[in-house]
């Protein structure tokens, strides 16, 4: 009965958000009332529910994606080739893992970076249950330097945890950089999804060489949290003139209206793999 109540409220939360653009309170509170682990079914793909981080799941409790617009956009990107490498930095409980690790016919390799213990447990269980043998879980944060860094866990909302700006209230985790981890010459088209609660700019800084040489398509968070730590102009300067940046809209399309943003998409201008075409683009505002 408890699970049914949470599922109902999750659907109500989703409905009100999509219709009225309002986030009603209480979903995280109700999710944290679930005290058992179980499997969530996504059309035959199983996701492990770790009750210790229940508030990370949101809509996933109902086999529905939290970031529907990103999936819509990526589906259009992935329809044109069959040799992608997908990199999820800040993989959390594996929303994008269950979608894109299951598409072995179009995605050669999936790399998931996540430094948090309970999230890693959820990822590993989901990987094993579904035999995602081309999926690699890296138990590290990603930053502008390798080694150890401070990582802050928000006990009231563990989805908001990230690389710490306050060393006195943080745990220590291992970190790597894009340039260090992807040091070998790679030829397949790379798609990066970066959700790092304000550390996105430092991740770009740690991947200068790779980004310059490989021209990956990059989706990154730029919302009320990340705007506290860096500006859009800083991202443009870091990525350089070879990249154009667009807003990812709620319908999965792109435009140039940056007045209200959540995720942005950085398109490499000279890439032979990625082009902005009529299937992705809405006229400039």
- pLDDT tens track of the chain, all 285 residues? 789 999 999 999 999 999 988 899 999 999 999 999 999 999 999 999 999 999 999 999 999 999 999 999 999 999 877 789 999 999 999 999 999 998 888 899 999 999 999 999 999 999 999 999 999 999 999 999 999 988 877 665 555 555 545 544 578 899 999 999 998 767 789 999 999 989 999 999 999 999 999 999 999 999 999 999 999 999 999 999 999 999 999 999 999 999 889 999 999 998 888 888 877 876 544
pLDDT for the residue 285? 42
Q: Are residues 75 and 121 in the same domain?
A: yes
Rounded to whole angstroms, the Cα distance separating 231 from 277 reads 27
Q: Are residues 20 and 70 in the same domain?
A: no
275 occurs within a structural domain = no
Q: Are residues 8 and 49 in the same domain?
A: no
Q: What is the pTM of this model?
A: 0.92
Q: How many CA atoms lie within 13 A of 12 on its CB side?
A: 11
| Pairing mode of beta strands 147-152, 162-163 | antiparallel
187 occurs within a structural domain = yes
Domain that holds residue 115: 37-268
Q: Are residues 115 and 228 in the same domain?
A: yes
Residue 142 and residue 106 in contact, taking contact as beta carbons nearer than 8 Å: no
- The sign of the dihedral angle between the CA atoms of 70, 73, 76, 78 is negative
104 occurs within a structural domain = yes
Rg over CA atoms, the chain: 18
Residue 54 and residue 92 in contact, taking contact as beta carbons nearer than 8 Å: no
Each as own residue / partner, the long-range contacts of residues 52-57 (CB below 8 Å, 24 or more positions apart, any chain) are 52/118, 53/93, 53/116, 53/118, 53/119, 53/122, 53/158, 55/27, 55/28, 55/31, 55/157, 55/158, 55/159, 56/92, 56/93, 56/119, 56/122, 56/158, 56/159, 57/31, 57/93
Q: Are residues 78 and 158 in the same domain?
A: yes
274 occurs within a structural domain = no
Q: Are residues 122 and 198 in the same domain?
A: yes
**pLDDT of 248-269, one tens digit each?**
999 999 999 998 899 999 999 9
166 occurs within a structural domain = yes
278 occurs within a structural domain = no
273 occurs within a structural domain = no
Residue 220 and residue 116 in contact, taking contact as beta carbons nearer than 8 Å: no
């Amino acid at each position: 009965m408890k699970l049914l109540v949470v599922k109902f409220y999750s659907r109500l939360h989703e409905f009100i958000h999509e219709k009225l653009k309002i986030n009603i309170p209480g979903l995280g509170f109700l999710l944290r009332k679930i005290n058992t682990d179980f499997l969530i079914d996504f059309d035959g793909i199983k996701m492990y529910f770790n009750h210790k981080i229940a508030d990370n799941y949101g809509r996933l409790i109902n086999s529905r994606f939290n970031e529907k617009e990103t999936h819509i956009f990526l589906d259009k990107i992935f329809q044109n080739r069959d040799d992608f490498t997908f990199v999820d930095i800040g993989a959390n409980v594996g929303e994008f893992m269950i979608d894109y690790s299951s598409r072995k016919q179009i995605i050669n390799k999936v790399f998931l970076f996540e430094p948090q213990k309970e999230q890693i447990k959820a990822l590993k269980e989901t990987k094993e249950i579904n035999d995602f043998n081309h999926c690699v879980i890296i138990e590290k944060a990603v930053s502008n330097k390798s080694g150890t860094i401070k990582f802050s866990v928000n006990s009231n909302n563990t989805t908001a945890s990230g690389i710490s700006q306050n060393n006195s209230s943080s745990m220590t985790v291992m970190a790597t950089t894009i340039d260090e981890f992807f040091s070998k010459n790679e030829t397949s088209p790379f798609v990066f999804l970066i959700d790092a609660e304000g550390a996105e700019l430092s991740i770009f800084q740690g991947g200068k060489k790779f980004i310059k040489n490989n021209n990956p398509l990059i989706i990154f968070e730029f919302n009320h949290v990340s705007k506290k730590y860096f500006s859009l102009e800083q991202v443009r300067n870091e990525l350089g003139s070879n990249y154009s940046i667009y807003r990812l809209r709620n319908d999965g399309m792109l435009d140039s209206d940056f007045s209200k943003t959540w995720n942005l998409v950085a398109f490499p201008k000279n890439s032979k793999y990625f082009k902005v075409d009529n299937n992705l683009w809405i006229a400039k505002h």
